[in-house]
């Protein structure tokens, strides 16, 4: 298993999209937990590609190709995650997106998949989502929870603007709010009035469940 997960990681870090796709298919036929294949396999490869980029070994095109390999694998595994979700008790409705000015969507998509696999109905707004579109979707969907991802220090303040705008819009049902993304933290959540922060997809599901029951 560890060898298989290491191969998944390497396919992404060496930006081999074809191999990543065939390993994702293999994970399905072998019955590997799709979330495990993503978190302990493919995502580790992206982390490695990120480190190589930070060191100056990789350039942006290589990092983008590694991201594509990761996304291809995730797309193949997604139906298996959704199938698992259908069997679960519904926990609430989530609106999720990456904030405006920020195109990093891999972590956000992972959180969306995890929440969906855990029994939430998830409306994924994508990346670079304006404050206005977050508010519109939260109101339209009567969301229980609004989740905001930011990967850049320069885009973190948009999380605060969204929280304020959602409150100001006074939707019929005021949703709870959860933030995440590498530069964010518990203390940032407290500072901007978010109900919660989670460091990764697994914790995001646990925290979201807790928010729904409190």
Q: What does the binding site for ligand B12 look like in residue numbers (CB under 6 A)?
A: 43, 46, 50, 53-54, 60, 63-64, 67, 101-108, 110-111, 147-149, 151-154, 178-183, 198, 200-201, 204
Question: Half-sphere exposure of residue 160, counting CA atoms within 13 Å on the CB side?
Answer: 13
We find the least distance from the C-beta atom of residue 26 to ligand B12, in angstroms, to be 21
Q: Could you give the 3-state DSSP secondary structure of residue 92?
A: strand
- Smallest distance from ligand B12 to CB 153, Å: 4
Listed in order, strand segments (DSSP E) in 37-191 are: 92-98, 120-124, 145-149, 176-180
Closer CB to ligand B12, 125 or 204, in the complex? 204
CB of 140: closest distance to ligand B12 in angstroms? 19
- Helix, strand, coil percentages (3-state) for the chain, rounded to 5, are 60, 10, 25
- Within a 10 A sphere around the Cβ of 187, how many other Cβ atoms? 9
Given the complex with ligand B12, which of 87 and 109 has the nearer CB atom? 109
For ligand B12, the closer CB: 29 or 60? 60
Q: Give min distance, CB of 150 to ligand B12, in A.
A: 8
Q: How far is the CB of 162 from ligand B12 (least distance, A)?
A: 11
Q: CA-CA distances (angstroms) from residue 62 to 17, 54, 69, 82, 199?
A: 12, 12, 11, 30, 26
Q: Which is closer to ligand B12, CB of 21 or CB of 152?
A: 152
Using an 8 Å Cβ cutoff, are 99 and 150 in contact? yes
Cβ proximity to ligand B12, 39 vs 87, nearer residue: 39
């Amino acid at each position: 298993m560890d060898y298989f997960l290491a191969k998944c990681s390497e396919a992404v870090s060496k930006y081999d999209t074809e191999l990543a796709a065939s390993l994702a298919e293999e994970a399905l036929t072998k019955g590997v937990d799709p979330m495990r294949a993503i978190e302990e396999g493919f995502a580790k490869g992206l982390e490695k590609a990120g480190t190589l980029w930070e060191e100056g070994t990789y350039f942006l095109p290589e990092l983008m190709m590694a991201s594509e390999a990761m996304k291809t694998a995730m797309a193949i595994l997604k139906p298996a995650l959704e199938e698992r979700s259908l069997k679960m008790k519904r926990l609430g409705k989530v609106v999720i997106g990456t904030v405006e000015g920020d195109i990093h969507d891999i972590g956000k998509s992972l959180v969306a998949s995890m929440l969906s696999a855990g029994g939430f109905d998830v409306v994924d707004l994508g990346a670079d989502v304006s404050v206005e579109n977050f508010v519109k979707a939260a109101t339209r969907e009567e969301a229980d929870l609004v989740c905001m991802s930011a990967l850049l220090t320069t885009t973190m303040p948009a999380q605060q603007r969204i929280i304020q705008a959602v409150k100001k819009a006074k939707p019929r049902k005021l949703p709870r709010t959860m933030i995440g993304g590498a530069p964010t933290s518990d203390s940032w959540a407290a500072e901007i009035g978010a109900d919660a922060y989670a460091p990764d997809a697994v914790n995001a599901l646990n925290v979201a469940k807790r928010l729904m029951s409190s």
